[in-house]
């Protein structure tokens, strides 16, 4: 489950526990699936131990981001 927060922030909800990076990996996997890219194309910029994460995706995915944000 997920959604958006504010104007330009995606919310990714995962069932994995926040132990040993499992929730972070699950969130990255969910983003990779949502954007149709390989996991290796994502870079966790910040937030490895935080609920709020900033992720960079290789390439131009602006159209898909807008679609996911419901625009």
Instruction: Report the percentage of the chain scoring pLDDT > 70.
Output: 97
> Rounded distance, CA 4 to CA 7, Å?
8
Residues 22-32: pLDDT tens digits? 999 999 999 99
Q: Distances in Å between the alpha carbon of 60 and those of 14, 26, 32, 63?
A: 25, 22, 14, 8
Write down the domain spans for the chain: 2-68
Average pLDDT in the 41-64 region?
A: 93
Q: Report whether pLDDT(67) > 70.
A: yes
Taking the whole predicted model, whether its pTM rises above 0.75 is answered as yes
């Amino acid at each position: 489950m997920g959604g958006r927060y504010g104007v330009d922030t995606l919310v990714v909800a995962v069932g994995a526990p926040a132990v040993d990076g499992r929730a972070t990996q699950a969130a990255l996997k969910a983003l990779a699936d949502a954007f149709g890219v390989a996991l290796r194309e994502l870079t966790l910029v910040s937030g490895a131990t935080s609920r709020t994460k900033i992720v960079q995706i290789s390439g131009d995915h602006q159209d898909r981001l807008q679609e996911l944000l419901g625009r």
